[in-house]
Amino acid sequence: MDFEPSDEPVALKILIAGGFGVGKTTLVGAISEIRPLRTEEVLSDRGIGIDDTDGVEGKTTTTVAMDFGRITIREGLVVYLFGTPGQERFWFMWDELSYGALGAVVLADTRRLTDCFPSIDYFEQRGTPFIVAVNCFDDADQYDIEEVRSALDLDPDVPVLMCDVRRRASAKTVLITLVEHSLRVLTASQA
Amino acid sequence: MTRWMDEEAGPVVRPYALIGGRTRSSGDALDLVAMVTATGGAASGGFVPGPEQERILTLVTTATSVADVASELDLPLGVVRVLLGDLQDHGLISIGRASASERILKEVINGLRAL
């Protein structure tokens, strides 16, 4: 089969980050086909000495389950959505997940805004393009976008928007906002 | 060959037995969204693919991402990377990682709008 380089199959990776329970899985489910994935977690010190690792010294991991989302744009062009694990013990997976990522959506909950600080710090340091999407929970006080931006001390070029991740149209807007932002970052880096 | 699985008891063969207890291979650095495609060529060095590798080869006759291969085979990602590393070392698959161009991103934006 002869393909022009432009027809090479392309898969893009988008990360969905934010604190535990902020709606990452809901967002992925609202807009994409969910697929299960088994991956490995580094065994804690507690497991060493209990798990018999004699002869398999290389085995320092145990299996954990995660989901990812898949959106087929057309044949040969697929967007994957990976939720970054919320708990601290899964931090080791962030580097792997964010390698080569197109960008990240940081989901925020105004009742617990500090929960998304680690994600914002991480993507700022790595230079991964990201946006902040404030998931509007029914019982949360409503803030305007500038209040959230200033509370998070974001660069002026980082897009911030309100969303309701249960709604497909809203989830779509979130992803489009991110890809448009990534496109601006890419264009600026080439200028 | 069907899966060596029993839903109640779990896998009959432990995942790491499928790869001879190894946890390192040339497939280690494979990105989750790297695309895997069967070359359709003959294996080099007298390599004979195992049952799971045969399943992979069937799956990747059309380009498939590493994450989708792991999901489809229901095997841990680390195991799949080792299996893919062997297949790559023996010339049975090629692995590509196309980067996002301006044109592709515009296509994604339009595609998302049309969802």
**What's the mean pLDDT when you consider all of chain B?**
86
User: How many helices and strands, by DSSP H and E, does chain A display?
Assistant: 5, 7
Q: Note whether B76 contacts A63, CB cutoff 8 Å.
A: yes
pLDDT reported for residue A49: 46
pLDDT in tens, A156-171: 999 999 999 999 999 9
CATH class for the domain made up of A5-190: alpha beta
Contacts with B28 from chain A: Cβ below 8 Å = none
pTM of the predicted structure, to 2 decimals? 0.84
Q: Note whether B65 contacts A80, CB cutoff 8 Å.
A: yes
Domain boundaries, chain B: 5-113
**ipTM entry:** 0.84
Nearest to B105 among A8, A37, A179 (CB): A179
Above 60 in pLDDT, residue A80?
Answer: yes
CA distance B74 to chain A (A): 7
- Residue count (chain A): 191
Q: Note whether A12 contacts B76, CB cutoff 8 Å.
A: no
Contacts with A9 from chain B: Cβ below 8 Å = 35, 37, 63, 96, 98
Locate the chain B residue with the closest alpha carbon to A102.
Answer: B100
Q: Considering Cα of B38, then B43, then B47, then B48, what sign does the dihedral take?
A: positive
Kindly state the average pLDDT of the residues B28-43: 90
Please provide the CATH number assigned to the domain covering B5-113. 1.10.10.10
State how far the Cα of A145 lies from the Cα of A148, in Å rounded to an integer: 5
Please report, in angstroms and rounded to a whole number, the separation of the first and last CA atoms in chain A: 35
Locate the chain B residue with the closest alpha carbon to A67.
Answer: B71
Q: Note whether B78 contacts A55, CB cutoff 8 Å.
A: no
Q: A110 vs B11, which has greater pLDDT?
A: A110
* DSSP letter assigned to residue A36: E
Q: Helix, strand, coil proportions of chain B in percent (round to 5)?
A: 40, 10, 45
Kindly state the average pLDDT of the residues A17-34: 91
User: For the range A88-91, what are the long-range contacts, defined as Cβ-Cβ under 8 Å and sequence gap of 24 or more?
Assistant: A89/A41, A89/A44, A90/A41, A90/A64
